[in-house]
Structure formats: structure tokens, C-alpha cells
Amino acid sequence: MTVTLVHPEKVNRVDVHHQVAVTQGSRTVYLAGQVSWDTEGNLVGRDDVAAQAEKCYLNIAAALDAVGATAADLAKVTVYIVDLDEAKAEQFVIGRDRAAATLGVEFQQPSTWIGVTSLAAPGYLVEVDAVAVLP
């Protein structure tokens, strides 16, 4: 395995992700920020943070698959949510967990969540970028 996720004893443990990822591999994969669009570029889940988070993670899985990687290879994700608050954070986790269930994986990589005023196009509420490490 190229990525080992760790909960350090002297750092606050949170339920939504690990605080540390230790990687060992020879290839690093940087994914562009993924939004909730389908293969035709159409917005999926207008006004629905959970639906958009789910589609972002499904797009991440598809991008990883294209280079022979899986969710287990993810080392770090950065999440951008328009007008982030507690309710939107909860909806994001619901969507992320739905994608994980669909894919049969866990998304517990270290992550940073950033509230933003807008994303690149109207209607997009969530964007997720990621870094993966492969053998």
C-alpha cells in the first residue's frame, strides 16, 4: 500500500478524516479540482451540496481510475464549499459518504475544507482537488 493514514495521539481526532497520510511510492498524481459535472459538462445536483459532493468524489474516482489508481492511493484532498457553514459541512459528508458506499471505499484522507464566496461557474457549490501517490 502506498498511503498509510494515521490518527496521531497528540492531535485532536476528528471523525471525518485522518490528520496524517504517510506515502511511499514513485509516482505522484495531482488531480484538478473536480466539480459536479457529468461527462458532457452539465451541472449535477443544482442547489444540493450532498449531491454535488457525491458527484465530485465519483469524478475523482474516475480520474484516478484513468491513471491506474484508486481511492486507497489518495494522500490529501482540499475541499472548497461556497458559503461553508455547519449545515453545508454535514451535507458534504453525506454526499462524500454516498460516493464511498457506491464505490465500496472510504474517503478518510487528510483534508482541508475552505469556505469560498463562489466557484468558477454559477451553480457549483463544491469543488474537490486531490493528490494521490502510486507505487
User: Which of the two residues, 15 and 51, has the higher pLDDT score?
Assistant: 51
Q: What is the pTM of this model?
A: 0.88
Per residue in 75-96, pLDDT (tens digit) is 999 999 999 999 999 999 999 9
Per residue in 55-75, pLDDT (tens digit) is 999 999 999 999 999 999 999
**Domains of the chain, with CATH numbers?**
3-7+31-134 (3.30.1330.40)
Which residue(s) pair with 80 in the sheet?
A: 114, 127
* Residue 16, C-beta contacts closer than 8 angstroms, at least 6 positions apart: 93, 108, 111
CB 33 within 8 A of CB 72: no
pLDDT, position 1:
66
